[in-house]
Amino acid sequence: MKKSGTDRQRLFPGALKYFGALVIILLITLIRGNAVHAGDPVLIAHRGYCAKAPENTTAAFRNAGKAGFKWIETDIYESSDGEFFIMHDPTVNRTTNGKGKIRSMKSGQLKKLRIDTGKGNPDKVVYRIPTLMQALAVCDVYKMTPVLHVRGISNYSRFNTYCRQFSFYRNIIYMIDDPKTGKMIRKVNPKALIMAINYKEEDVAATVRKYKAAGALHFLNTHLSHLTQAQINTVRSRYVRSCGWFINNLETALVIYNKGCRLMVTDWITPAVWKKYFAAHTAPKVSVGALSSGAAKQLTVKWSGKSGAGGYEVSCAPDSNFFEASAVYVKKNSTKVTMKVKSGGRKYYVRIRSYRKAGNGYYFSDWSAARTIYVR
């Protein structure tokens, strides 16, 4: 498989053998210095914190910041006179007291409209359609990384000029619906971080290749109904990070998390809510103990048992990303397992996590740090 170079270097330290330190620094930059602790996915506030205020309003953005969101998703359209506005739909019909397509309306008309629908507005507070600059200003105050869904734009140069005025410019995620839009964004910002939307269950490997051929792809955002384990594994093996949207149920969020998806677009699951739920529905973390290799193509793993664990999953792979991993499950009273590998005479990476059954599901701890062993 041919590697794509600098785009991969910026996001995936495990994919590189010689530039790991540089990659780690760039990854830290990507998440704006906001540490993603063990057990924490990147929760992205959908159209702002729209469970607390009407979607895509400055109030929804401020509420997201106050609730502790570090990333925020919103939608961008361009008016007929070249101003950029925050609105999910191509028309103002659903959420305002006006009618018409944004592309056919002037900025003065749009600024006069009143947003008159949406949750979190029982007293009918007068909200206006925010401009791009107003939305980014709120992100700047609360140190949130914007995920900008570019929906209806023609003047990419001016759009880029607006974005460049903020300190988080290099960290902005541009969410797109087609490769052509990504190509236009990369033309004005060659180092732009691109998130593509996968609307249907399809050949995700081909989708990734299609977007990379047009310039770059760093994230693939998929509806939760298509966010299968196989899809996540395929995307990850292409050095792209999986993201899921409409993750509005805590149990579903945990299932998605355990599949390996760490970016979730949500209407209401705040970092504090997730932390409390995760603590009650996860298993204790465990570490790899002694490693040994006796017979050819075999390795033995030992660890210390943990109270509260229902069992353990031990995984080994010839690569540090565990793309080609095999795994075994062992009962809670076990603290040792011997695994067979496909080929000897090479180094293997080993990691472990515990799990426990709760209701109809299984809850896993985070993976341990990987250790290595030479298998003869």
Q: What is the pLDDT of residue 122?
A: 53
Q: Are 232 and 255 in contact (CB under 8 A)?
A: no
Q: Which CATH class is domain 31-280?
A: alpha beta
Give the burial class of 343: count Cβ atoms within 10 A of its Cβ; 0-12 exposed, 13-18 middle, 19 or more buried. Answer: exposed
Kindly state the average pLDDT of the residues 104-126: 81
Provide the whole-model pTM.
0.74
Q: What is the pLDDT of residues 295-312, one digit of tens each?
A: 999 999 999 999 889 999
**Top-confidence residue, 44 or 321:** 44
Whether the predicted pLDDT of 1 surpasses 60: no
Q: What is the pLDDT of residue 179?
A: 95
Three-state secondary structure readout of 51-107: CCCCCCCHHHHHHHHHCCCCEEEEEEEECCCCCEEECCCCECCCCECCCCEHHHCCH
Whether the predicted pLDDT of 144 surpasses 90: yes
Kindly state the average pLDDT of the residues 119-146: 87
Q: Are 300 and 329 in contact (CB under 8 A)?
A: no
* SS3 (DSSP) at 284: coil
Q: Are 147 and 173 in contact (CB under 8 A)?
A: yes
Q: What is the pLDDT of residues 9-62, one digit of tens each?
A: 444 444 444 443 333 334 433 433 343 444 578 999 999 998 888 999 999 999
Kindly state the average pLDDT of the residues 277-283: 83
Helix locations, 214-268, DSSP H: 229-237, 250-258
Q: Which residues pair with 131 in a beta bridge?
A: 85
When the pLDDT of each residue in the chain is averaged and rounded to a whole number, the result is 87
Whether the predicted pLDDT of 8 surpasses 60: no
Q: What is the pLDDT of residue 120?
A: 52
Kindly state the average pLDDT of the residues 84-107: 96
Whether the predicted pLDDT of 293 surpasses 70: yes
Query: Nearest Cα to 23, choosing from 41, 8, 4?
Result: 8
Q: The tokens of 120 are what?
A: 């979190």
DSSP 368: P
Q: What is the pLDDT of residue 255?
A: 87
Q: Which residues pair with 46 in a beta bridge?
A: 73
Q: What is the rounded CA–CA span in Å between residue 101 and residue 79?
A: 9
Q: Which residues pair with 84 in a beta bridge?
A: 78
CATH code linked to domain 291-375: 2.60.40.10
Q: Where are the domains of the chain?
A: 31-280, 291-375
**Top-confidence residue, 317 or 5:** 317
Q: What is the pLDDT of residues 215-266, one digit of tens each?
A: 999 999 999 888 998 999 999 889 999 999 999 999 899 889 888 899 999 9
Q: What is the rounded CA–CA span in Å between residue 114 and residue 271?
A: 31
**Top-confidence residue, 198 or 169:** 169
**Top-confidence residue, 361 or 143:** 143
Q: What is the pLDDT of residues 151-173, one digit of tens each?
A: 989 999 999 999 999 999 999 99
